[in-house]
Amino acid sequence: MTEIYWFQQDLRLRDNPGLLAHCRAEPLLLVYFWPANRPWCNLTGMGGQRQRFLAESLQSLHAELAALGQKLLVLQGPPEVGLAALVRQTRASLVGTSRSPGYYERHCLRRVAAALPVALKVHPGNTLFTRHDLPFELEQLPVQFTPFKDKVLGLPVAEPLPAPARLPAPPPFEFQPLPAAAVRASAALPIRGGAPAGQRRLRQWTQAGLADYKQTRNCLDGLDGSSTLSPWLALGCLSAREVVAAVQAHEQVQGESESSRWLVYELLWREFFHWRARRDDISLFRVGGAKGKARLSTFDPRNFARWCQGDTNFPLVNALMRQLLETGWMSNRGRQIAASCLVNELGVDWRYGAAFFEKHLIDYDVASNYGNWQYIAGVGADPRGGRHFNLEKQAQQFDGDGQFTRKWGGVRPRQPDFAVDAADWPLPPEMS
C-alpha cells in the first residue's frame, strides 16, 4: 500500500526515525511543502539567504534520494490541502511526518489530520530526548534553563540511527523541478545547505575547532570560532543526536574538556527552548510571554527601520545587522547585543526584532529564536528579568580593535537623538 512521508524540519536520511518508519511501504511518496508566511507576513516571509539555504538543502536531499531510486516532491500551498489531494491521487493508506515545536506548527498538524481521509502518524522531532525520556511532565518543565539542565544532563542520548540502505520506489507521479536559489552564498559565509555539507562541517569542526570552543565561541564572524552548525540543525540536515555522537567520539580520543562540555550545554539550551515552545504554545509570541508581564515598549518606525538596516548610532550593532542582511547569519553573542539594543536602547517591542530575525536567519528555529528574544526582553526564561548590555563595553570586549565593525561598515552618519511619537510630536524629556 502506498504511504506518504511529509518532510518538515528533518531534511536528512541519517537518524531520521520518521522516514525509517515508512521505508517498508511500497510505493512511498516523499513530499515537502515550501513554508508559508506567518500572519505578520509583511515583515517575515523569507529573506534571500534563508531561501537559498533551504533551496540548497532540498536539492541536496533530492540528490541523496535519487541515489536510492527516490524523488522529492516540493509543493506550494497549505499542507492540509496538498496532502489530502495527494492521498486521493495515490490512494495512500497512511501519511507520516515528524513533529516541530510551535503554536502554528501544532495547528497545522491538527488541520492536516482533520483534512486527511487516512491516519496521520506523527514521529518525534529533532531533539536529544523524547517527551517520554524527560524526568518530568511537560507541564512541570522548569521555567529556567539551569534546573532543566541539572535534571536532564545525566540522561542517555540515543545513538543516531543509520540512513536507510534502500527506499521503496515512488508511485507514478509528475514531479516538478525543485525551487532554485535566487541568490548566492555570501563570500563572508560560504556555507551550503544540505546534509552532506552539514556532515562535512561537523567532521571538520570537531577535528579542528572543538578543542578551543570555550575560548572562541563569542567570535562575531562565522567559521572563526563558532561551530556554525545551527543552520543544518534548524532544517534537520543534521540531527542533534548526531552532533552529540560526534562530540563523544572526540572526547574518546582527546578526553572530555570544558569546551566539549560547553557545546553539550548549548545543545541543551536548544533542547530547553524546544520544550518551552511546546509548553508555552501561543505565549511564545505574546508580548508578555507566558508570564503575562509585558514591559513598556513602543513602535517608532524610523528607529526600527534604522536598526533593521544597520543605521543606528551604535557602530557594532550596525555591523551585526549588516552582516545578517548579507549572510543570513549572526553569532549568538551578536544576537544578544543587537536584541538588547532594540529592546533597551530603542524601546521597541521585542516581537518586531524576533520577526525580522525570522525573515533573515538561515538557522531560523521558532523555539530558539523567539525563546532567546523573550530571554533578552525579560518575559521568558531569564531569572534576572531581562538583559541590558552595555554596548560600549561589548564593543571593547568582542571587537576591541574595531576590525569587525570596519569590515561590515558599522560607522554610519549620526542619527537624531530626540524621540518623537507617531504624529511627530516630540516626547517629554522624561519619556525620550
pLDDT at 426 over 70: no
Average pLDDT of the residues in 398-411: 97
CA distances from 145 to 131, 174, 265 (A): 17, 48, 10
The one-character DSSP state at 189 is: S
Please state the φ and ψ torsions of residue 12, each to the nearest 5 degrees.
-155, 165
Q: Report the first-to-last Cα separation within the chain, whole angstroms.
A: 67
- According to DSSP, the residues that pair with 97 across neighbouring strands are 6, 122
The answer to whether the 3-125 and 291-407 domains have the same CATH topology is: no
HSE at residue 403, side-chain half, CA atoms within 13 A, is: 7
List Cβ neighbours of 400 (8 Å cut-off, separation of 6 or more): none
The continuous run of DSSP H or E covering 64 comes out as helix 48-66
- Does the CA dihedral 235-322-415-338 come out positive or negative? positive
Q: How many residues does the chain have?
A: 432
- According to DSSP, the residues that pair with 96 across neighbouring strands are 5, 121
CA distances from 307 to 4, 192, 320 (A): 44, 27, 10
Average pLDDT of the residues in 143-151: 96
Tens of pLDDT, residue by residue over 171-217, are 998 898 999 988 999 999 999 999 999 999 999 999 989 999 999 99
pLDDT at 16 over 50: yes
Tens of pLDDT, residue by residue over 298-342, are 778 899 999 999 999 999 999 999 999 999 999 999 999 999 999
Please state the φ and ψ torsions of residue 226, each to the nearest 5 degrees.
-70, 155
- pLDDT at 383 (0 to 100): 84
- Cell numbers that stand for 340 in this block: 538588547
The one-character DSSP state at 59 is: H
Q: Does pTM surpass 0.85? A: yes
pLDDT at 41 over 50: no
- pLDDT at 420 (0 to 100): 53
Which alpha helices (H) appear in 211-289, and where do they start and end?
213-216, 230-235, 240-254, 258-280
Cis, bond preceding 413 (omega within 30 deg of 0): no
Q: How far is it, in rounded angstroms, from Cα 66 to Cα 13?
A: 12
355, 308, 362, 29: which is closest to 181 by C-alpha? Answer: 362
- pLDDT at 223 (0 to 100): 85
Q: Which fold, 3-125? A: Rossmann fold (3.40.50)
Q: Please, which pLDDT band fits residue 33 given cuts at 50, 70 and 90?
A: very high
228, 181, 217, 157: which is closest to 15 by C-alpha? Answer: 157
Q: How far is it, in rounded angstroms, from Cα 130 to Cα 145?
A: 18
Q: Are the CB atoms for 120 and 6 separated by under 8 Å?
A: no
Domain boundaries, the chain: 3-125, 195-280, 291-407
- Cell numbers that stand for 54 in this block: 533551504
Across the beta sheet with 94-98, the strand order is: 73-75, 28-33, 3-7, 94-98, 119-123
Mean pLDDT taken over the chain: 93
Burial of 227 from C-beta contacts in 10 A (0-12 / 13-18 / 19+):
buried
pLDDT at 431 over 50: no
The residue whose grid cell reads 501544532 is 106
Q: Which fold, 291-407? A: DNA Cyclobutane Dipyrimidine Photolyase, subunit A; domain 3 (1.10.579)
pLDDT at 419 over 70: no
pLDDT at 421 over 60: no
Average pLDDT of the residues in 40-66: 89
Q: Are the CB atoms for 242 and 128 separated by under 8 Å?
A: no
| Pairing verdict, β 94-98 and 3-7 | parallel
If one counts every other C-beta atom within 10 angstroms of the C-beta of residue 351, the result is 19
Tens of pLDDT, residue by residue over 212-267, are 999 999 999 988 788 999 999 999 999 999 999 999 999 999 999 999 999 999 99
Q: Please, which pLDDT band fits residue 382 given cuts at 50, 70 and 90?
A: confident
CATH classification number, 195-280, choose in 1.25.40.340, 1.20.1440.230, 1.25.40.80, 1.20.120.1750: 1.25.40.80
If one counts every other C-beta atom within 10 angstroms of the C-beta of residue 54, the result is 23
pLDDT at 135 over 50: yes
The proportion of the chain whose per-residue pLDDT surpasses 70, expressed as a percent, equals 95
- Cell numbers that stand for 376 in this block: 533578552
Average pLDDT of the residues in 265-276: 97
- pLDDT at 45 (0 to 100): 80
298, 295, 275: which is closest to 286 by C-alpha? Answer: 295
